[in-house]
Structure 1
Amino acid sequence: MPGKAGNTGDPRTPTRTVGPTRPPRIVAPDGTATSARNTKGTALAFGMGLAATGVGAVLGLAAERAATSRRKLLGESGKTLTDGRGGPELGSLHGKSLVVTSDGVPLHVEVDEPDEAQPITVVLTHGYSLSLDAWHYQRLALRGRYRLVLWDQRGHGRSGTGEDGSSTIDQIGRDLSAVIDEVAPQGPLVLLGHSMGGMTVMALAEQRPELFAERVVGVGLFCTSAGGLGPLDLGLSGVGRAMMSLAPTAARLLASRPSLVAHGRRIGSDLESLLVRRYSFASPVPQELVRFSSGLIAQTRMEVISDFLPGLGSHDKRVALAALDGHALLVMAGEDDLLIPRAHSDDIVASLPDAEYVVVRQAGHLLPLEHPDLVNAYLLELMTDASAAVRDRQPSRRRGWGRRTVTPVRQLVDERPKDRGGRR
C-alpha cells in the first residue's frame, strides 16, 4: 500500500502518533478555530436536540422526518447540492435499476457496468440511516473500471420495509446474499461496507464462509465494528450512555407519534443539522455536504430506526472475521469517530493482523464522504491487490503493514497559520 513517510505531496502521507495527543483543532470557514470537544456545550445541544427532534442523533444521526420531500434534500432554495469539487451533483449518480426480493422484501439495486470487460464485481453496502447515495465519491472513482453493485438496505432509500422484527444484522446479511446471488452469481467479488454495512458483510461471512473461500478476493471495512457497541457514550461519558440506553424506547414511541416527529422537525432543523455535523464529521465540510447527509438520514422512517437499534447494540460477529483472513483487506477508521470509535477497528485488526489499517486524523463517522480522496486512494490500492489475486489465482497476503495514521492534506492546508494580512 502507498504512503511512505516524508512524501508530503501524497495525501496519504502517514504521520506518526507518539503518546497522547490533544483534540484536533477545527478551523471554521472564516479561519477561526473552535474546540473539537466542548463536552458541556455538546451535552446541552444534544439534550436540546432530543427535546426538539425526538431521538435527536441516535448513533449520531438525526430523527426521521416522514414528510421530508425532495425539495428539502435539495435545500430550501430548490438548488441542487453540488459536491463542492466540480463533480456531479451529490446523489445524482445512478445505474441500471433492479429489484431483488429477500424474505418477501423488495430491495432496490443499481448496477454500473464497466467500460471494458472486468472479472471483478464490487458490492457496496451503506450504513445505518443512509442509502446507496452515501457512496457518491467511491462510485465516481470506481465506475467504468469495475462492475459495481450498490443497493439500499431494507427500510432505507428506495427499498421496502420488512415485518416488525426483521431489521436485524443477520437478516441484512441474508439480504446481501440474495443481492449477490441475483446480480453477481459468478466471478470474483470485492465487498465494501461502511458502518452497519460492514456488519452486514460480517453477517454474510458467518452465514456463507464458502463464498469467501471461493469467490471473495477483497474486503473493505470503513468505520465499523465486529461487536461490543452496547457501551457507546457518543463522546459524552455517562450522559451519552444513558441516552443510548433510552434511545430504542424513545424511537419506538416516536414511531407511533409521527405528528410529534413532524413538529420536532419544524422547531429543531437547525439543531438537527448541528448534530449531524458534529456526529458525522470531524473537520470543516461544506454546508451542502451536511445538508446532503441530513437528507439521506431524513428518508429513513422512524420505525426502521427503532427496529434496527436493538440489533446494533447486540451485534457480535467477531468469530466470523476468520472468514476474511487471507484476502486483500482494507480497514479504515476516523480518529474522531464518536459513533463507532476507532477502538472497534483496532479490535478487528487484532483478529486480522494482515489487514491494511488506516486511521485518518480529523475524520468522523462519514469518512467516505468527509475525506473521499484519501479513502479512494486506498480503495484503488485494495482493488489493485484484489486484481492481482485474481490474476495470480492465489490469496493476496501482505504482512507487516501494521497501523498507519494519516492526516488529510486539505486539513494541513487549512491549519497553516495566517499572517496579519490574512494570507497563509
Structure 2
Amino acid sequence: MFILPLPFLLSTIASIASLALLAGGIWMVWGWFTGALIAVAWLWSGIASIAWSLFGRMIVLAFYPRGTDSPPTTHADAGQMLDAPDGSRLHIEFDGPADGPVLVLTHGWALDSDAWYSVRRELAQTYRLVLWDLPGLGRSSQPADRRYSIERLAEDLRTVIAQTGNAPVTLVGHSIGGMMMLTLARLHPDLLRTKINGMVLMDTTHTWPLKTVIGGGLMRLLRWPVIEPLLLLTIVLSPLIRLSNFMSYMNGTSHIVNRLTSLSGSVTREQLDFASRYNVKDTPSVIAKGLRAVLRWDETATPGAIRIPVRAITGDVDKLTKPEAGIEISRLAPNADFVRLAPAGHNGLIEQGPRYAEAIRQFMRRTTLAAS
C-alpha cells in the first residue's frame, strides 16, 4: 500500500528481489540440466528458489495467528456507477437503513471500499453508509485524462456527497480520504454550513506528508534523486511492475513490507493476506500517480477554519502518518477531539475494524447530543 514513499521504496526493492529470485532459480535449474552447471547443489538451490517464489507466502503467513475475522476474497456485485467531473466512473454502494444518519466512507490510497468490511459490518446496523472506490481503484475507472490531484479527488467526493439527497452527512476518511476531506473543506466551505455536519479523520495528516512520516528526513532527502524518478519509471513500466508485485505477493515479501510499514503486531493471518492482496489488485501506474499527488499536497491552515465537529483517530504505531499529526489536527480545529487506538498501524481499520467503528459511533452520539 503505497500511500507514502517509505512503503513504496521497500515494496520496489521487494519486487525487484522477487523477480531476481525467480529468474535466478530458473537459470540454475536450466544450467544444471544443460550441463552448464555441474554440481547438484545448483539444482537444489534453483528448485528452492523457485519453490520459495511460488509458495513463500504460505511460510510467512504461518508465523501469524489465525483470526475469527473473515475479510472478503472477492468484490461484491452490489452498487452502481456514477459519472464524476474528471471523466472517471465511480463505483458507489449504499448499506444500512435508508432513514439512518448518513456516513460517507472514503478509503485510503491503494485500497478500495472493501477495506471497510468490518467497520461496515458494525455500523450498517444503525447508519446509512455510502461507500465508494476512488478513481482507478477497486471498481472505479481512472479519470479520462489519467491525471490525479487531491483537488480533483475532493471534487469526486463532492459528487458522491450529492448522491445522498437532502440529508446531512458525516464524512469519514482514511489516510488520503482524510486529506481529500480537508481539501474539500477549503474548496467548498459552504458545504460545512449546509450539508456536512461532522468529520472523522482516520490515520491521516493535515500538512505536507513528508513531515509526519517515520523517517521523513531521509524521505525528503531521497525525494528528487530517487523517489520521483522511481515513480515515473513505475508509470512507464506498469505491466512489468505488476508482474513483480505479483511475485512479491506469492513469495511473501509484500506481506513482510505491509506488516512493517502499515500494520501492527496484532494483525492476523487473514488480515495480513487481505491487505497484501492489494499489491496484486492495484494498477502500479495509478498508485504512482496518486503518490505523486500526495507529495504535492498541504492543508496546514485548513483545520483551523473548520467549525463543525471533528474527530481525529490514529493507530498507536502508525508509521505513515504519525499520531502527532492527529493530535495537531485536534488542537487546530476548534471543535475537535483525538482518539488513539492500540495496537493499530496505518491500516488499523483492517486489523481493528470494530474498535474504529466504535470510535466513529461514539463521535456520532456526541455530535447528536451537541446538536440537540
1:22 alignment counterpart: none
2:72 alignment counterpart: 90
> What TM-score, normalized to structure 1?
0.68
1:126 alignment counterpart: 107
Does 2:178 align with 1:198? yes
Does 2:347 align with 1:366? yes
Report Cα offsets for 1:29-58 as digits up to 9, x if no partner: xxxxxxxxxxxxx9x97784263369xxxx
Instruction: Give, in angstroms, the shift of residue 283 of structure 1.
Output: 1.9
Instruction: Give, in angstroms, the shift of residue 354 of structure 1.
Output: 3.5
Q: Secondary structure at the match of 1:173?
A: helix
Sort the Cα spacing of 1:346 and 1:107 in 2 relative to 1 into closer, same or farther, 3 A.
same
Q: Secondary structure at the match of 1:314?
A: coil
Sort the Cα spacing of 1:111 and 1:92 in 2 relative to 1 into closer, same or farther, 3 A.
farther
Structure whose CA Rg is larger: 2
Q: Secondary structure at the match of 1:155?
A: coil
Q: Secondary structure at the match of 1:358?
A: strand
**Contact 1:233–1:244 (CA under 8 A) maintained in structure 2:** no
Instruction: Give, in angstroms, the shift of residue 356 of structure 1.
Output: 2.1
Sort the Cα spacing of 1:388 and 1:331 in 2 relative to 1 into closer, same or farther, 3 A.
same
Query: Take 1:133 and 1:266, find their aligned partners in 2: how far apart are those partners?
Result: 20
Instruction: Give, in angstroms, the shift of residue 236 of structure 1.
Output: 8.2
Q: How does 1:407-422 map to 2 (within 5 A)?
A: none
Q: Secondary structure at the match of 2:230?
A: helix
Query: Take 2:302 and 2:202, find their aligned partners in 1: how far apart are those partners?
Result: 17
**Which of these residues, 321, 327, 330, is aligned with residue 346 of structure 1?**
327
Sort the Cα spacing of 1:283 and 1:236 in 2 relative to 1 into closer, same or farther, 3 A.
farther
Instruction: Give, in angstroms, the shift of residue 191 of structure 1.
Output: 0.4
Instruction: Give, in angstroms, the shift of residue 135 of structure 1.
Output: 0.9
The residue identity in structure 1 corresponding to 2:367 is A
Does 2:264 align with 1:282? yes
Q: How does 1:23-422 map to 2 (within 5 A)?
A: 48-49=13-14, 51-52=16-17, 86=68, 89-90=71-72, 94=76, 96-102=78-84, 103-114=86-97, 117-118=99-100, 120-164=101-145, 166-181=147-162, 183-231=163-211, 234-235=214-215, 238=218, 240-245=219-224, 246-265=226-245, 267-269=247-249, 270-327=252-309, 329-352=310-333, 354-389=335-370, 392=372
Query: Take 1:95 and 1:260, find their aligned partners in 2: how far apart are those partners?
Result: 29
Query: Take 2:11 and 2:280, find their aligned partners in 1: how far apart are those partners?
Result: 18
Instruction: Give, in angstroms, the shift of residue 264 of structure 1.
Output: 2.4
Instruction: Give, in angstroms, the shift of residue 209 of structure 1.
Output: 1.0
Instruction: Give, in angstroms, the shift of residue 163 of structure 1.
Output: 4.1
Query: Take 1:234 and 1:143, find their aligned partners in 2: how far apart are those partners?
Result: 34
> What TM-score, normalized to structure 2?
0.77
**Contact 2:110–2:287 (CA under 8 A) maintained in structure 1:** yes
Percentage of identical aligned residues = 25
**Contact 1:169–1:203 (CA under 8 A) maintained in structure 2:** yes
In structure 2, list runs of 5 or more residues that go unmatched: 1-6, 20-53, 59-64
The residue identity in structure 2 corresponding to 1:230 is L
Query: Take 2:245 and 2:160, find their aligned partners in 1: how far apart are those partners?
Result: 34
Instruction: Give, in angstroms, the shift of residue 112 of structure 1.
Output: 1.0
1:39 alignment counterpart: none
**Contact 1:194–1:221 (CA under 8 A) maintained in structure 2:** yes
Q: Secondary structure at the match of 1:319?
A: coil
Q: Secondary structure at the match of 1:104?
A: coil
Report Cα offsets for 1:308-343 as digits up to 9, x if no partner: 12221121123332453232x211112221111122
Sort the Cα spacing of 1:338 and 1:106 in 2 relative to 1 into closer, same or farther, 3 A.
same
Instruction: Give, in angstroms, the shift of residue 168 of structure 1.
Output: 0.7
In structure 1, list runs of 5 or more residues that go unmatched: 1-41, 55-71, 77-82, 393-424
CA RMSD, Structure 1 to Structure 2 (Å)? 3.0
The residue identity in structure 2 corresponding to 1:193 is G
